[in-house]
């Protein structure tokens, strides 16, 4: 079975242009037109992406992350949410890259089978880069007012993080 799976992607890549040619589509022209639209999308998204990345880096470099982690860590450890995982919970709605870096660091330091490692995995899988998604995708289509999207996204992130904490505590018998 594994031999067949290594041929699926190349087969699909060859099949798409062949179907287009059979249907009489000028595959190259359609591809170039799609690439033009892709470049326009990148140009539209880039300012929002740069603003978000700059804000995340300023937040981390300013020391605000350390202040928040040190303050909240005293309270979250009582409910079984270690302070070491707080940077992941804070950065996850902001940036996928930054939160992945934190998650990898936690996995290396504590191991993937530890309480912190499993909690890190659960949080990473049950939350979203809400602010990043809203700024990039809403910016790409020109939506200025997010209305309830931001609140709904952040509430779902908090619920995902709390549910992760509860589930991992139950798994570890705490």
> What would the pLDDT profile of 5-30 be if each residue is shown by its tens digit?
788 888 988 998 899 999 999 989 99
Please say whether the beta carbons of 126 and 164 come within 8 A: yes
CB atoms inside a 10 Å sphere around CB 116: 18
| Token output for 170 | 């139950």
Residues 72-125: tens digit of each pLDDT: 988 988 887 899 999 999 989 988 888 888 899 999 999 999 999 999 999 999
Distance CA 16, CA 10 (A): 10
pLDDT over 60 at 1, yes or no: no
pTM equals 0.70
Residues 54-70: tens digit of each pLDDT: 887 888 889 888 899 88
For residue 5, what pLDDT is reported? 75
Domain boundaries, the chain: 27-171
| Token output for 40 | 């326009």
Please say whether the beta carbons of 94 and 52 come within 8 A: yes
pLDDT bin (cut points 50, 70, 90) of residue 174 is low
| Token output for 101 | 């870096």
For residue 124, what pLDDT is reported? 93
For residue 154, what pLDDT is reported? 92
For residue 118, what pLDDT is reported? 94
| Token output for 126 | 């049950």
What is the average pLDDT across 147-167? 92
């Amino acid at each position: 079975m594994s031999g067949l799976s290594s041929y699926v992607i190349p087969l699909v890549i060859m099949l798409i242009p062949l179907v287009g040619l059979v249907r009489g589509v000028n595959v190259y022209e359609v591809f170039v037109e799609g690439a033009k639209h892709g470049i326009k999308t990148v140009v539209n998204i880039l300012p929002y992406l740069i603003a978000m990345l700059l804000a995340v880096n300023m937040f981390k470099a300013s020391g605000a992350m350390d202040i928040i982690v040190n303050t909240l860590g005293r309270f979250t450890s009582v409910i079984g949410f270690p302070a070491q995982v707080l940077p992941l919970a804070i950065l996850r709605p902001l940036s996928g890259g930054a939160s992945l870096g934190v998650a990898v660091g936690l996995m290396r330091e504590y191991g993937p089978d530890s309480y912190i490692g499993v909690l890190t995995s659960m949080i990473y899988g049950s939350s979203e880069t809400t602010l990043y998604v809203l700024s990039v995708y809403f910016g790409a289509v020109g939506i200025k007012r997010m209305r309830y999207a931001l609140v709904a996204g952040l509430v779902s992130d908090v619920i995902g993080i709390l549910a992760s904490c509860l589930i991992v505590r139950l798994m570890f018998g705490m």
